[in-house]
């Protein structure tokens, strides 16, 4: 079973600094051996933003992103794919779809 959730969370930083917004991407695939996120936030590099195995076939990555809209895809064991649980997507120039992540301002 493959599912993903994209959610925004807040993490407190030291002393009186304002909270730093974090965007968490989750993906579930017990058979995956490596999962990365590639998108407009990392110049589409497929091996730069690695998701971490967090147990029970779950993978997660927290990103610090400025407010805005970002396109991304998951790279699971070297295969590019749209986020199967991503609520929004747009066509890409390769005949597939890119997932869209919106970070509110």
Q: Which residue has the higher pLDDT, 22 or 32?
A: 32
pLDDT value for 50: 98
Residue 42 has pLDDT above 80, yes or no: yes
pLDDT value for 20: 56
- For strand 52-55 and strand 68-76, is the pairing parallel, antiparallel, or unpaired? unpaired
Query: C-alpha angle 90/61/81, rounded to 5°?
Result: 35
**What mean pLDDT value characterizes the chain?**
86
Top CATH class of 3-103 equals mainly beta
Arithmetic mean of pLDDT, 84-93: 94
User: What's the pTM?
Assistant: 0.80
- Alpha carbon 82 to its chain centroid, in Å, reads 10
27, 83 Cβ separation under 8 angstroms: yes
Arithmetic mean of pLDDT, 11-39: 77
Q: Please, is 36 exposed, middle or buried when counting C-beta atoms within 10 Å of its C-beta (0-12, 13-18, 19+)? A: buried
48, 36 Cβ separation under 8 angstroms: yes
């Amino acid at each position: 079973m493959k599912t993903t959730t994209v959610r925004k969370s807040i993490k407190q930083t030291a002393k009186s600094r304002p909270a730093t917004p974090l965007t968490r991407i989750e993906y579930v695939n017990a058979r995956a051996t490596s999962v990365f996120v590639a998108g407009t936030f990392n110049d589409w590099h497929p091996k730069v933003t690695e998701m971490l195995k967090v147990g029970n076939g779950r993978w997660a990555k927290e990103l610090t992103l400025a407010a805005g809209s970002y396109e991304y895809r998951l790279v699971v064991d070297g295969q590019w794919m749209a986020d199967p649980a991503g609520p929004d997507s747009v066509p890409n120039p390769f005949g597939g779809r890119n997932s869209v992540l919106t970070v509110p301002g």
